[in-house]
Each structure stands twice: as C-alpha cells, then as structure tokens.
C-alpha cells in the first residue's frame, strides 16, 4: 500500500502530483472516516491551485455525504480554532503546503478537537483510498448544500485576545515589523498587533500565490529585509510568517533572526511564572538545540524530546499538559488557547512577555542562551539514499551520545549535529550548532564527506 500523508498532511506539486482527483479521494475518504452527515470546515491559503483543490475537496465531501462549510482565506490555526470551539463542527480540511515552495500545495485533515488527525487516522484514510472503500451517499440522503462561515477569522482573533493582558501591552505601544510572506498571515498577525496597541509596519502584506517577496519559509536568509527594517525603524521586534501562518520566526531589536528554540527559553520561563497551575514541562522535536536544556532546567522546567512533527507534539501537549510545545522552525503551541502552532497567538504572547518583563527581546535572549554558531542546510536526496547516510553517520560517531528518535543526532560537549530525511520533501536536512564557528564549519564538511560515502 502506498503512503500519502507525510510529516504534516498530504503534499505535492500542484497539477502533477496533487491533482483534483487525489484531493477528491482524500476528502471523500476523510468523509468516510468521519461518517456520513459530518460537518467539516474547509479553508485555504493563497497558493496556486487553491480554488481548484477547494472545489475537489467540496465535491469529495458531498459525494460521501458530508457537509462542507467554506471559510475562504484563513490561517491554518484559524480554521483549527474554529473547529475546536464550534460544537456543530466535526472536523476540517485545510488546503495548504505551509512552507513549501510556490509550486506545492497540500491538504491537512483536522480532527474534532481542532488538532491535526493522529497518525493512526492518517493510516485509516489511506486504507480507505487504497482498498477502494470510498462509497457515494444515497441520492436521497439529504440536501446537497455547501455552507459558508463568514465570521471565522473574527472568532479566531477574539480567542487570541481573550488570553492576553491587553491593557498592559497597549501601554507599551510596541513597534513591530511583520513579514507576512504574501499569504494569509497578513489577515491575522497585523490585526493582533494593532489590537494590542502596537504600530505595525507590514512587508509582503498583499496576497500573491507566487510569493514574490520571499520564499514562504521564514529563515535568516529570507528575512534579511525584515531584519534591516527592524534596525532602520528602531522597532521592538519583527516577525516572519510561513505560508499558512502557523509558524513564526522572530527578529529581536538588534536585528537578529531567532530560531524558535531560542525564543522558547524566555517564553517558557515567562509562561511558568504566569501559569503556576501548569505542569513545568515543554515538548519539542529533536531538531531543536540541546543548548536549551540547561537554562530551562535551572528554572525547574523539564524538556521532553520527541520526533520531528508538530502533530505529535500537539497531541502529547494536549494529553499530558505542559507550558508549551515548540519547534526550532518557529512552530509554537500554547495549550491554554489551543495546542497547535499559531503565529498570531505567539506574537501576542511575545508582546505580553516584553510588557511583563520590562526588558527588550535581545536582553531576554542574551540572558539565557549562549553565543553559538548555527548551520542549517538541505541536500536533495531520495529517501533510500538518505537512510543509508544515517547508517554511515551513526557508525562514524558511535563513540558519542546519540539520539535516534528521528534521524541521527550526535551530541558533543561544545556542539551537536542532526541529520534526518525530510518528511515533506525529498531532501536530507542537516543542522549543526557549535560554540565555535570553525567547529561548526568543520562538522559540516565532515558530514558532507560521509554523505559522499553513501554513493
């Protein structure tokens, strides 16, 4: 049996890999799984093919007897929040490929709790497709109707503000640069900043499926303009969004682009003081830096390491409780709002943290995180060869502490490296961090040499 779901939904190149036929099958199988009569929200980001895929998804749901409700353009966490708070809704399908290049699109299936379906449900939907168990509804099974929900975005934004000390933040009048990546984040994050009394300067704020401003994945390389604008405008911070506005990478007042695991240290400590009732633990994937452990443990906060994938982190956070979940790529999950990645919620939390601590973002980062040098790169590679590379890397570094929950992570006293196949693209991801720049460069060259041994 084939595999359709990756680390985060079903994705592929629009028109050739992710076709209307496939979208129809996935949605019809999703309806079959949820059950005839289920009411499912359908939203989308700005990507090319979105209208086509939306029509295919709606057709698949209607074919198998479900009731689609269209939200139109909306961030992924916006759709998820509406599923969670609306008792009349059974789940949802979000049409997005998140951070992937413009030629990609995808489908995320959302469960009744507003979190992406667990892995076993992905397997079940795949079985329904590959075992040809999709069945049409009876012709007289009810009204063939597509509804629309026009207040979904407002419901989502109100939910964020309800979790924040709005008045305390408004008094600070923060200036924030928002790079919205020409997608649906422009509908949420600037609005949240304004509601919190901030002055917003927006980059790439118009909707454009070709992502002309920058690639939809927020990285130090893609956020150079935003970084310079933070300095030029003397802003308090900047935030760069991905294509569906569930991930956010922050820029401090010194113009430094902060990976999500670095931001998570002061944010987790802030949340531990704000919410004494929550378990003092955080959840993150193995791609996060191991340098986060020491400052968090000093505050009595446990770090729970997991395989890469926001779905698994969200579900663990929801079932066991904790302060937050996070990923180095900028995914941050706040359980008291909704335990899923949410760029707008994270932006509001960071603004509240600054207002409460009365310190700049750069001061908070520097007080907790050591000075290190990071290298993140990816190499196009079929999965079969990537698995061979993992075996070679593991053998080469067998004298070191090794974590192989997901890929192979090598831990040294002053550095660490991670080599893992991507769950969304045919690439091998390499992450290296060291307290010495030359050490980081040497490790990269060493890994490249090992890759060459894989043929």
Residue numbers annotated as active site: 98
Please state, in angstroms and rounded to a whole number, the distance separating the CA atoms of residues 170 and 121.
43
429: left (phi over 0), alpha (psi -120 to 50) or beta: beta
Residue pair 411/432 in contact by the 8 Å Cβ criterion: no
User: Which residues face 410 on adjacent strands?
Assistant: 402, 417
142: left (phi over 0), alpha (psi -120 to 50) or beta: left
Please state, in angstroms and rounded to a whole number, the distance separating the CA atoms of residues 366 and 369.
6
Please state, in angstroms and rounded to a whole number, the distance separating the CA atoms of residues 57 and 29.
10
User: Which residues face 258 on adjacent strands?
Assistant: 250
Please state, in angstroms and rounded to a whole number, the distance separating the CA atoms of residues 93 and 91.
7
Q: What is the CA radius of gyration of the chain?
A: 22
Copy the structure tokens of residue 289: 């830096």
Q: Which of 155, 172, 180 is nearest to 248 (CA)?
A: 180
Q: Which of 358, 399, 351, 42 is nearest to 175 (CA)?
A: 351
Tell how far CA 89 is from the center of its chain: 23
**H or E segment at 73?**
strand 67-73
Determine what percent of the chain falls in helix, strand and coil, rounding each to the nearest 5. 40, 25, 35
**How many degrees, rounded to 5, is the angle at CA 183 between CA 247 and CA 68?**
90
Q: Which of 68, 211, 64 is nearest to 133 (CA)?
A: 64
**H or E segment at 318?**
helix 310-320
CA 330 → CA 235, 261, 319, distances in Å? Answer: 20, 8, 22
């Amino acid at each position: 049996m084939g595999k359709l779901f990756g680390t985060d939904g079903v994705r592929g190149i629009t028109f050739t890999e992710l076709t209307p036929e496939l979208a129809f099958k996935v949605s019809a199988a999703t309806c079959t799984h949820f059950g005839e009569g289920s009411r499912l929200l359908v939203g989308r980001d700005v990507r090319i093919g979105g209208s086509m895929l939306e029509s295919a998804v709606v057709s698949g749901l209607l074919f198998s007897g479900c009731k689609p409700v269209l939200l139109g353009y909306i961030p992924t966490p916006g759709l998820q929040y509406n599923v969670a708070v609306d008792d009349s809704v059974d789940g949802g399908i979000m049409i997005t490929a998140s951070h992937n290049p413009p030629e990609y699109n995808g489908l995320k299936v959302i469960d009744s709790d507003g979190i992406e379906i667990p892995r076993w449900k992905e397997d079940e939907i795949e079985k329904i497709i590959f075992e040809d168990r999709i069945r049409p509804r009876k012709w007289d099974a009810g009204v063939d109707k597509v509804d629309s929900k026009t207040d979904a975005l407002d419901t989502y934004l109100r939910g964020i503000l309800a979790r924040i000390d709005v008045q305390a933040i408004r008094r600070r009048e923060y200036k924030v640069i928002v790079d919205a990546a020409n997608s649906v984040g422009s509908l949420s994050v600037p609005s949240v900043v304004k509601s919190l009394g901030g002055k917003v300067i927006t980059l790439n704020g118009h909707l454009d499926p070709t992502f002309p401003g920058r690639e939809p994945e927020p990285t130090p390389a893609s956020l150079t303009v935003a970084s310079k604008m933070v300095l030029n405008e003397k802003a308090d911070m900047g935030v760069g969004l991905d294509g569906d506005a569930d991930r956010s990478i922050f820029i401090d007042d010194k113009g430094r682009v902060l990976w999500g695991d670095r931001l998570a240290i002061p944010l987790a400590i802030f949340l531990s003081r704000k919410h004494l009732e929550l378990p003092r633990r955080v959840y993150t994937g193995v791609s996060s830096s191991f340098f986060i452990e020491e400052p968090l443990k000093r505050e009595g906060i446990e770090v729970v390491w997991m395989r890469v994938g926001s779905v698994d982190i969200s579900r663990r956070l929801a079932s066991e409780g904790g302060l937050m979940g996070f990923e180095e790529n900028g995914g941050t999950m706040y359980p008291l709002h909704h335990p899923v990645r949410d760029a707008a919620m994270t932006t509001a939390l960071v603004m509240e943290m600054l207002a409460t601590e009365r310190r700049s973002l750069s001061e908070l980062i520097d007080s907790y995180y050591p000075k290190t040098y990071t290298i993140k790169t990816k190499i196009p590679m079929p999965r079969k060869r990537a698995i061979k590379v993992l075996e070679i890397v593991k053998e080469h570094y067998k004298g070191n502490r090794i974590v192989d929950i997901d890929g192979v992570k090598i831990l040294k006293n002053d550095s660490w490296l991670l080599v893992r196949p991507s769950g969304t693209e045919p690439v091998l991801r390499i992450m290296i961090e060291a307290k010495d720049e030359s050490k980081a460069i040497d490790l990269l060259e060493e890994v490249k040499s090992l890759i060459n041994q894989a043929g």
